Structure 1
Amino acid sequence: MHTEAKHSISGSVIHTDAPKDHDGEGKDFAPTDLLASSLGTCVITIMGIEARRREWELGKIVIDVYKSMTSEGPRKIKTLELEIFMPSELDTEKYKILQRIAEDCPVKLSLERSVDIKLNWHQTKI
């Protein structure tokens, strides 16, 4: 029920555990939690890459990821909903460019045919 994955280059380690509602103890991320986290971190990363290329200061971005699982049939991820909180100081042009860039996140593009993905955008003081 518990696994360990080690990154071959950096040596970083990630542990997983099955969730409590699926025969685990829920002590670590479940594999589906890692998939959901991959989407959120990919969106932030791809926006950060674009901002650096354009020499923009992004400020702090926060993404909350919500995952729901299917209730019938084989257990799988049904939806991933991202609440993306962008700095309110970001001007409209940059904001729209970053929203468009987020749509090209490789994780999103890889998942969107099998998982319902929603990106909900908010500008706020963080």
Structure 2
Amino acid sequence: MQVTTHRGAGPLQQVIEIGPHQVLSDAPVESGGEGSGPAPHDLLAAALAACTTLTVNLYARRKGWKLDEVLVTVDHGQEGAAYGFQRSIRLLGDLGVEERERLLDIANKCPVHKTLSGQIAIRTELV
């Protein structure tokens, strides 16, 4: 899948094209943007939250477990020399202790979590 970005209407607004979808990103007003969309780091945190929810739901459904809802919150920001993510997961439904522990394990195996906690290679070319 290819993602493309280009300048939007505002001074720092970016239009992100992901296949047939468009998403806006912007800087907050205090940073010179208009706040017309989430900042890039917010999109990264949202990807982690969405992937976690999706992965846990798929696993529970496959197992036939009574998971009614997964609520994921991700706080994020610079922590010294590192960028940190604090993920909180709330599982709603008729689940036993072992099922809940297994779902936490599965959450840590979501593809975005694995990508962010693994080694990342970024290659850049000027075209």
TM score, norm. by length of structure 2:
0.73
The CA distance in 2 between the partners of 1:61 and 1:25, in whole Å, is 32
Instruction: Select the structure of larger CA radius of gyration.
Output: 2
The CA distance in 2 between the partners of 1:104 and 1:39, in whole Å, is 11
Q: Indicate the residue corresponding to 2:84 in structure 1.
A: 79
Give 1:25 shift.
Answer: 2.1
* Residues 111/92 of structure 1: CA separation in 2 closer, same or farther (3 Å cut): same
Once the two structures are superposed, the pairs formed by residues 60-99 of structure 1 within 5 Å of their partners are: 60-69=69-78, 78-87=83-92, 89-99=94-104
Q: Which amino acid aligns with 1:91?
A: G
Q: Indicate the residue corresponding to 1:124 in structure 2.
A: none
* Residues 54/100 of structure 1: CA separation in 2 closer, same or farther (3 Å cut): same
Question: What 5-or-longer segments of structure 2 have no aligned partner?
Answer: 1-11, 120-127
Once the two structures are superposed, the pairs formed by residues 10-89 of structure 1 within 5 Å of their partners are: 11-69=20-78, 78-87=83-92, 89=94
Q: CA RMSD in A?
A: 2.1
Question: What 5-or-longer segments of structure 1 have no aligned partner?
Answer: 115-126
Report percent identity of matched pairs: 28
Give 1:20 shift.
Answer: 3.2
* Residues 113/21 of structure 1: CA separation in 2 closer, same or farther (3 Å cut): farther
- Runs of 4+ in structure 1 off by over 2 angstroms are 19-23, 69-72
Q: Once the two structures are superposed, what CA deviation does each residue of 1:44-95 show, in whole Å capped at 9, x if it has no partner?
A: 11111111211223112211110112577xxxx7111111111263211210
The CA distance in 2 between the partners of 1:69 and 1:27, in whole Å, is 22
TM score, norm. by length of structure 1:
0.74
Larger RCO, structures 1/2 (Cα 8 Å, 6+ apart): 1
The CA distance in 1 between the partners of 2:76 and 2:109, in whole Å, is 20
